Structure 1
Amino acid sequence: MDTRVAPQPPSPGDRLRSWRERRHLSQMTLALQAEVSARHLSFVETGRAQPGRELILRLADELEIPLRERNMLLRAAGFAPVFEQRRFDDPSFDPVRSIIDITLARHAPFPAYVIDRHWDVVCRNDGVPELYEGVDAALLVPPTNVVRLMLHPQGMAPRVHNLPSWRSHFVVQMRRQFELTADPQLGALLRETLAWPGGIGPIDESTGGPAMTLDIDTRIGRLSFITAITVFGSPVDVTLEEIALEVMHPANSFTEHAVRDAAAARAARRKGQETKG
């Protein structure tokens, strides 16, 4: 008979201490920021005192804990979660999805897509299908992961001219995101990414900004895009906090014309096929 005892889930105090240490804050510093005594905070972390709902939310705010984790912290303390967590296809998101759909459509024929906290594509337009030609079919199966699509040796990586810089761009962002969220799935993706061959080299911490240039070979020529990411900040909704819109703008006139000409040619072929049908 198995007599092993199942591990107990972390207590509210354990969770708060873990987040405080992740943020490199002392008890005294956090106590001052949250306007609570250091003694009481120490008692909370050791389990000698149970934190109230307001104190949990105040500490979570000072620690910049993600909303998903704040809900878990509240549950661990016996309180109901206060931040809504819905599927992206929930009808309540119709206004947000409408704005996103308009943005995706207007950005065509250039690529644009929405990603979640694990870099999986939630929705996208059909801009520049030539980018994905030659990519292993398994990497295109929904939900497509942008990191794997871009950096995996069987993805777009062999055609990316500035692969080391592009790889650094992703790695720096994932590291920062992991530091902020402590998401184990994101941590696994980061380790997976660092293990792939190709483009291996020192990580340039300066490449983790919101915009980055992608130079890639395709059958319509070497294309260059500037990417930019927009986040949907919301203080009360988990789903909106965890998604981001990424758009790719042409970085030079050749890319502008090549992409538009290729899109026009596809549209003409479709129109001809419909006429024949």
Structure 2
Amino acid sequence: MNVQSPAFGNSLKSLRREHGLSQVEFAGRIGSTQRHVSFLETGRAHPSRYMIQRIERELALPVGRSQILYETAGFSSPYKCRAENSPDVVEALDLIETRLLANWPFPAFVLDKRWTILRSNTAGKLFLAGLTELQNQPANLFKIFLSPTFRERVLNWKEAAPIFAARLYREAAEDPALADLLEEAHASGILDGLDETFREDVPVFVPVEFMGPDGSRLRVTSLLGQLASVQDAVIEGMTIEMMVPMDEATQNCLLAAGTPTTVAGSTAAE
């Protein structure tokens, strides 16, 4: 029996282990045998296209992971590999911006997998308007979170920092560029002492608190989401972040006509 390229076998083994399945359990999920799964992982057998379809269906794989299986098995992927600036992707971003972000009354953003801001609504632009030294093109939300300017404007940084750090750790585990950013954060001491933060009375939400333009304390959290039925790895890797006021005073302040709120507690005109 000819031994096939190990690329598919290695991908399959990693996928199986990520789901915490033994070869026997995995075989049961996809309607195969432990022997055949072993042969696939060692390269002694080659998968059929139908086998890959069963794997992606039974494990509910994201498009990006499915693409890897097709490609490492030597098949053309049924999913297109679009560039971030392709017309289809730009059209999808425009759709999200006009149909969703524009109708959300509070700050909202579309982020790529590295948390670069691809789109934002008017409230979102105003909310970040005070971070003048961070107006790089395009801005990155993680870099903003970890910047000295942003940290100075968070009134409860000790409580909020572990929330930001958890997101960065989670994303950095799958992306080398964010892993570099995490290393920079460690080197600068931003994450020092987070392991010592302990609360016995952990609330349902941990809001981030900013000083409002009138001196009030604004309390917000975020709603993270993705579009369903996405069949593109680039769009699939994007996240929609929508800020949510935690109390009526914050809501009124964010909605106040003629008083656009920024994390600096100033207005866009400043």
Contact 2:161 2:194 (C-alpha < 8 Å) held by counterparts: no
| Amino acid aligned to 2:67 | N
Identity of aligned residues (%): 28
- The yes-or-no answer on 1:79 pairing with 2:75 is yes
SS of equivalent to 2:11: helix
Equivalent in 33, 37, 43 of residue 41 of structure 1: 37
What does 1:148-227 align with in structure 2 at a 5 Å threshold?
148-150=143-145, 152-177=146-171, 182-198=174-190, 200-202=193-195, 213-221=207-215, 222-227=217-222
Task: Output the CA distance in 2 between the equivalents of 1:80 and 1:129.
Answer: 41
Task: Output the CA distance in 2 between the equivalents of 1:98 and 1:128.
Answer: 17
Corresponding position of 1:98: 95
Task: Output the CA distance in 2 between the equivalents of 1:76 and 1:264.
Answer: 55
Contact 1:211 1:229 (C-alpha < 8 Å) held by counterparts: no
TM-score normalised per structure 1: 0.74
SS of equivalent to 1:127: helix
Corresponding position of 1:19: 15
- The yes-or-no answer on 1:248 pairing with 2:243 is yes
**1:96, distance to aligned residue in structure 2 (A):** 6.3
Unpaired segments of 5 or more residues in structure 1?
1-8, 205-209, 267-277
1:144-177 deviations in Å (ceiling 9; x for gaps): 2112212x14241222123244332233344445
Change (3 A) 1:32 1:216: same
**Number of paired residues?**
247
SS of equivalent to 2:123: coil
- The yes-or-no answer on 1:67 pairing with 2:63 is yes
| Amino acid aligned to 2:166 | V
Change (3 A) 1:20 1:170: farther
Task: Output the CA distance in 1 between the equivalents of 2:61 and 2:180.
Answer: 20
Change (3 A) 1:140 1:242: same
1:31-77 deviations in Å (ceiling 9; x for gaps): 11111111111111111111122222323444554322321331222
Work out which structure has the larger RCO, using CA pairs closer than 8 Å and 6 or more positions apart in sequence: 2
**1:238, distance to aligned residue in structure 2 (A):** 1.8
Corresponding position of 2:104: 107
| Amino acid aligned to 1:70 | S
| Amino acid aligned to 2:208 | L
Change (3 A) 1:59 1:164: farther
Task: Output the CA distance in 2 between the equivalents of 1:44 and 1:117.
Answer: 31
Equivalent in 115, 123, 130 of residue 119 of structure 2: 123
Equivalent in 23, 30, 50 of residue 26 of structure 2: 30
Unpaired segments of 5 or more residues in structure 2?
199-203, 261-270
| Amino acid aligned to 2:101 | L
Corresponding position of 1:228: 223
| Amino acid aligned to 2:189 | P
Task: Output the CA distance in 1 between the equivalents of 2:138 and 2:180.
Answer: 17
TM-score normalised per structure 2: 0.76
**1:253, distance to aligned residue in structure 2 (A):** 3.1
Contact 2:97 2:120 (C-alpha < 8 Å) held by counterparts: no
Change (3 A) 1:255 1:185: same
| Amino acid aligned to 2:94 | R
